[in-house]
Structure 1
Amino acid sequence: MRIDDYALLLKLQEVGTIRGTAKSVLISQPAVTQRLKYIEDYFGMPIFIRTPKRLVLTPGGEIILNHASEVVAREAAVKNTLAQTSDEIKGTLSIACSSLISQRFLPAILGDYTAKYPGVTIDLVTGISEDIKQHHKDYHVCIIRGQKLKESTCISLFEDPLYIFDTEDFPAGKLKERPLISFKSDDSMHELVDNWLYHHNDRIKPLKAITVDQIETCKQFMKQGIGMAVLPESVSESMKKDYPHIALELEGEPVTRHTWLCFQEGIRKLPQVDIFIRELTKQTFLDERKV
């Protein structure tokens, strides 16, 4: 058995389907199925029961998954210990990152980092901040939106102002009634928008809610005139010259989404992690308005 085999079992348990796991680890579905069959043959028992909805662990599978978790954790611990004793910066850097930040900012940041430190292996997971928070201890660093993590060291990266866009004007002194398009995000984002709409119900009244899966889909729907959309500046700054918009404000203050870099106490003893944190906190994100 290889470390990759144990890691695959953990990914199958996390994702819950062979198809989803294949997509996550970037290999074909038949290859995942074949590898799982090899692992089950190696242990001489089924590890998962295939159901229409998801994979379910067998009693023996639970024992094997616990073993897999221990093996992967020990391997990571050994690599991290070796990284601390080496003059060369290497080892694994595990990052959990908000989808928006991973699309907008992280590629360039990681490109520079890996060019400087090619011996470091990047382990990256992206998703909604609320999901990342539930498993934050599985990663060296987390880059999240909204509320910062409790019981963690958190560094503010930047504040992202929110704007409401439309293809139609926002007339002063007149109620605007239009559908509102939103994208899948964590509860804190929806709470900010709902609170702002509540305090401005004399100006804007959503006729109906349209929810899409991704922020880019939300932007494209708005551009086609389907309705209004609340978007952070980080993904909409270039749209301001082309589409009517207003800034979200409450009591004269901008409504913003906070972006945080969070990590556990002591993790900076790992050189590859400490360097990444220092590189990230030196970045400027929005028009020189880094906070």
Structure 2
Amino acid sequence: MHIGFVRGDYKWIGGKRLLLEENLSLVSYSKIDLAELPTLPRIDYICDVKLQDMIDTWWSENFSVPPKVGIKVDKTDTCREMVAHDLGYAIMPSLVIKNTENLYQLPLNDKDNNPITRHTWMFYNQDDYNLKLVRTFIEFMDEINFQDMISKQN
């Protein structure tokens, strides 16, 4: 493999470029009070270990009881649609809820009040950078501002 795209922060000894940064957000049909979350039904979805760890860490920093998971689905899109039908709230990356103005969205912060973000990286082997095709692709990717592209989709 010459180049890989990875969501989440992993140790990597080769070259890497940050492509995208997205916030972790609370999503619900209407505005809810964070203090009420332990009593409200949550909709969970299958996600990668790093994202699940981010969600679990935020929860444990804010609550001493487990969440009241009412439904668990296989995809974020299904979860988002269930939230849109007022079946519960979810904690999701901001990319999943782009263009959903009808839903209440609250970006989450960690215990130090910093936004909780997930990164998308391009990893590559440093030695492969000497290959013309690999170098050209990496330089092309450097010219693209994914953050602006996502913002313009709204």
Q: TM-score, normalised by structure 2?
A: 0.83
Q: CA deviation at 1:191?
A: 0.9
Summarize the Cα distance change of 1:259–1:209 in structure 2 as closer, same or farther, 3 Å threshold: farther
Which structure has more RCO (C-alpha within 8 Å, separation ≥ 6)? 2
Match of 2:46 among 169, 184, 189: 184
Q: Which residue of 2 aligns with 1:168?
A: 30
Shift of 1:288: 7.3
> Are 1:207 and 2:68 counterparts?
yes
Find out whether 1:156 has 2:18 as its counterpart: yes
For 2:103, the equivalent position in structure 1 comes to: 243
Q: What RMSD over aligned residues (CA atoms) do the two structures have, in Å?
A: 2.5
Taking a change above 3 Å as real, the CA distance of residues 199 and 149 of structure 1, as seen in their structure-2 partners, is closer
Paired residues of 1:160 and 1:257 also in contact (CA < 8 A): yes
**1:147 aligned residue:** 9
1:196 to 42, 45, 58: 58
Aligned twin of 1:101: none
Give a deviation string over 1:184-238, Cα, whole Å, max 9, x none: 2221101111111122228x97312533222211211211222111221222132
AA paired with 1:162? L
| Larger CA Rg, structure 1 vs 2 | 1
1: CA distance, partners of 2:132 / 2:75 = 35
Where structure 2 has 5 or more consecutive residues not aligned to the other structure, the ranges are: none
Distance, in Å, in 2 between the alignment partners of 1:286 and 1:205 is 34
1:282 match: 143
| Paired residue secondary structure (1:159) | strand
Unaligned runs of 5+ in 1: 1-138
Look up the equivalent residue of 1:259 and give its one-letter code.
T
Q: For residues 182 and 213 of structure 1, do their structure 2 counterparts lie closer, same or farther at Cα, with a shift above 3 Å needed?
A: same
Q: SS at 1:165's partner residue?
A: strand
Among 69, 80, 83, the alignment partner of 1:222 is: 83
What amino acid is aligned across from residue 116 of structure 2 in structure 1?
A: V
Paired residues, what number? 149
Distance apart, 1:289 and its partner CA: 9.4
Is the 1:162–1:231 contact (alpha carbons within 8 Å) kept by the matching residues of 2? yes
* 1:287 CA displacement: 3.8
Q: Deviations over 1:99-124 (max 9, x none)?
A: xxxxxxxxxxxxxxxxxxxxxxxxxx
CA distance in 2, matches of 1:142, 1:179: 37
The alpha-carbon distance between structure 1 residues 278 and 182, as it changes in their structure 2 partners (threshold 3 A), is: farther
C-alpha separation in 2, matches of 1:209 and 1:259: 30
Task: Give the deviation of 1:145 after TM superposition.
Answer: 0.8
Which one-letter code corresponds to 2:5 in the other structure?
I
1:150-179 CA distances to partner (integer Å, 9 max, x unpaired)? 23222222221111101132137x423222
Residues 234 and 286, structure 1, Cα contact 8 Å, conserved in 2: no
Q: Work out the percentage of aligned pairs sharing the same amino acid.
A: 23
User: How big is each residue's C-alpha offset from its partner over 1:88-143, in whole Å with a ceiling of 9 and x where there is no partner?
Assistant: xxxxxxxxxxxxxxxxxxxxxxxxxxxxxxxxxxxxxxxxxxxxxxxxxxx21111
Q: Does the Cα contact within 8 Å between 1:148 and 1:154 map onto a contact in 2?
A: no
Closer, same or farther in 2 for the Cα pair 1:225/1:289, shift >3 Å? closer
TM value normalised by structure 1: 0.46
